[in-house]
Structure 1
Amino acid sequence: MILETGLAPIFATAAGLMGGVVLLAGLVGGASLTATTTSAMCQTQRPASASATLCGQFPDVIPVEGLAGPERGLIAAQAALLMRGVPYSWGGGGPDGPGFGIEHGAHIRGFDCSGLAEYAWAKAGARIGGHTSTQWNAGVHVPRDQIRPGDLIFFARDPARPATIHHVGIAVDASRMVHAPSTGSTVRTDTWVGDPYREGEFIGVIRPVS
């Protein structure tokens, strides 16, 4: 896990460039999107155990129609970061937030890796599906040296075979991701670059498009 102080400057700088960003309250009726401030989301949706470090840094509301790629990525990254501390639940979570999973996650309300990714990007107005196989095809492939916040970072048992993808994280920057690792853990931020396990399974990066 990284120091909280390492995250705020990333988003503060981006917010200055964009003139402010928002988090979206979620899909309403399966169709429309409602914009809300980060502060409002922190008060109404953020689990008590998650960190408040980034809450309230982006106060301006921007209509979803006016958001471009970088802004949407920042929204997705921020939404995922606000879920830190939520339990891992196999098959759990989706566009509306944490949910009960299946099998050994059936009694745990939380997220698995793809559920967290789906939730984060729903807040940015993109439907990417709830499974890594769908999410791998939900956008454009991005070179590793061009990763930006919100991009989806995928890992596979055999990096030559997309069919073996088993994990996804949401980029915080070029070297860190927020993800739901495994049963018994919680949503957290980790450095994946330089980690032999993650490096050995890295298969690629997708930037979702709506």
Structure 2
Amino acid sequence: MIAETGLATIFAVAAGLMGGVVLLAGLAGGAHVTATTTAAMCDDATTRSVPAELCEQFPDVTTVERLAGPERGLVAMQAALLMRGIPYSWGGGGPNGPSFGIEHGAHTRGFDCSGLAEYAWAKAGARIGGHTSPQWNAGARVPRSQIRPGDLIFFARDPARPATIHHVGIAIDTTRMVHAPSTGSTVRIDPWAGDPYREREFIGAVRPTV
């Protein structure tokens, strides 16, 4: 696991959070989102549970319909961060949260990469599909220099061929993402910019259309 250098105290693992304060709760099939106040999550430096540099950006709202485009991306990012620590499960996860997967993920309740992305954006009011193929076509392409929180970052075995996309993460900023990496791992934050493997397979970023 790559060290998360430069981050302040991040979200505690989701298992602990689920028993306490819940950041986002889907209503009416994911169409609405409730949120704790930014103050509750950010104000006390000793108990802060989000990256310090992101606290000022978080929207403080009661329903997702009131949000502008950039704020919806922040909601998606928050939803993904809340799942930090949930196990990877091949074929697992969807708009309602973690689930048992298929094949070697059949006995693990969690997320694969596209399941996490689908969940995160469902909380922001967008249906992007449960696999990387529809997710790649779920919005507008975003230049690398303009990536912002919540954008989907895609990786392919051959960056010239979208059909070879095999991984997706949710952007925190232009260098880091929250994602479900692979079997045996958990949802976590990793840098992707500057990582030789990720750089070699980076194919582009998409901002889902709501």
Same fold (TM > 0.5): yes
Identify the residue that residue 118 of structure 1 maps to in structure 2: 118
Partners of 2:202 and 2:31 in 1: CA distance = 35
1:52-201 residue pairs with structure 2 within 5 A? 53-54=49-50, 60-201=60-201
Identify the residue that residue 14 of structure 1 maps to in structure 2: none
SS at match of 1:5: coil
Partners of 2:85 and 2:196 in 1: CA distance = 25
**What are the superposed Cα offsets for residues 82-117 of structure 1, whole Å, 9 maximum, x if unpaired?**
111100000000011110000000000000000000
Are 2:1 and 1:5 aligned? no
Pair 1:6–1:25, CA change in 2 (3 A): closer
TM-score, length of structure 1 as denominator length: 0.80
8 A contact 1:86–1:186 mirrored in 2: yes
Partners of 1:92 and 1:172 in 2: CA distance = 22
Aligned residue type for 1:33: H
- Give aligned-pair identity as a percent: 74
**What are the superposed Cα offsets for residues 32-64 of structure 1, whole Å, 9 maximum, x if unpaired?**
42423268xx9xxxxxxxx97229x65832432
Partners of 1:196 and 1:158 in 2: CA distance = 14
Gaps of 5+ in 2: 12-22, 42-46
Partners of 2:64 and 2:173 in 1: CA distance = 23
Pair 1:7–1:62, CA change in 2 (3 A): same
Identify the residue that residue 15 of structure 1 maps to in structure 2: none
Paired residues in the alignment total: 185
TM-score, length of structure 2 as denominator length: 0.80
Partners of 1:178 and 1:31 in 2: CA distance = 21
SS at match of 1:153: strand
8 A contact 2:91–2:102 mirrored in 1: yes
Identify the residue that residue 14 of structure 2 maps to in structure 1: none
Identify the residue that residue 33 of structure 1 maps to in structure 2: 32
Partners of 1:65 and 1:191 in 2: CA distance = 31
SS at match of 1:205: strand
